Homo-oligomer: A and B are copies of this chain.
Amino acid sequence: MSEPIPIVGGTGALGFGLALRWARAGREVVIGSRSAERAEAAAAKLADAIPEAKASGAVNDEAVKRGPVVFLTVPFRNQSENLNNLREALAPEQLLVDCTVPLAAAVSGKATRSLGVWQGSAAQQAQEMAPDGVTVVAALHTVSAPSLNDLDATLDEDVLLCGDRKTDKARVAELVEAIAGLRAVNAGALEMARIVEQLTPLLISINTRYKTHAGLRVTNLPDGDHWS
């Protein structure tokens, strides 16, 4: 029995794409939004696409109470506001998976450029703002939202995870790898999010030149289970 997966900002392109993919894999998802109506509408849309889906919608601070590993998929512009709003809702022992990327687009700059975040990265900002006992893992910066949303698109790429404890990353890896075509790679401590978050503007630059939705693969990794 796997537990429901709350997605804060689950009505956005990345969050909804993840919800679709997990639902297709038989996982239960809880789509969070600032608005209960929009959350429920997204859950209904998901059920239209995948009739067997186990999906519901809820306001963000209700959604996060429904599962132990919470995904934060809001734009960087809204990250701090969301973290403030979730301060009372998140509980010790929960994992918060931050997917935020500090693109300069947040302040009307280019999407191939990024903002400097005082803490080092959006994920480190999330860790600073999260309630005591809530641990942040950074993930899912390089998976194309359009590709996730296109259920006919075959995924074949890696997801780099940054976090300070391997056991936390292993829990997130299990969820990432529940999505067909994704492999989780241990990229190191949470501070490595400084680099991994930059992969999004890099891929945006490549996408512009090749007119595609590129992803990343780490080559030459040994086979086997690296999480236990």
What chain B residues lie within 8 Å of A187 (beta carbons)? 202, 205-206
Give A203 to B36 CA distance when docked, in angstroms: 42
A214 within 8 A of B: yes
Give A219 to B188 CA distance when docked, in angstroms: 22
A62 within 8 A of B: no
A201 within 8 A of B: yes
Give A218 to B205 CA distance when docked, in angstroms: 12
Give A192 to B114 CA distance when docked, in angstroms: 11
B226 and A192 contacting across the interface, CB-CB below 8 Å: no
Q: Which of B144, B147, B194, B218 is within 8 Å of A214, CB to CB?
A: B218
Once A112-B188, A112-B192, A188-B112 are accepted as A-B contacts, the answer to whether A218 and B206 lie under 8 Å apart by CB is yes
Within the complex, the shortest CB–CB distance from A20 to chain B, in Å, comes to 18
User: In the complex, which residue of chain B has the Cβ closest to the Cβ of A116?
Assistant: B116
Once A215-B218, A217-B219, A222-B211 are accepted as A-B contacts, the answer to whether A185 and B206 lie under 8 Å apart by CB is yes
A52 within 8 A of B: no
User: In the complex, which residue of chain B has the Cβ closest to the Cβ of A162?
Assistant: B205
Give A206 to B220 CA distance when docked, in angstroms: 11
**6 A-B pairs (CB sep. < 8 Å):** A187-B202, A187-B205, A188-B202, A188-B209, A195-B199, A214-B220
Q: Using A188-B209, A216-B218 as known contacts, list a sample of 4 further A-B pairs with CB atoms less than 8 Å apart, ordered by residue number in A.
A: A157-B220, A160-B202, A210-B226, A216-B219
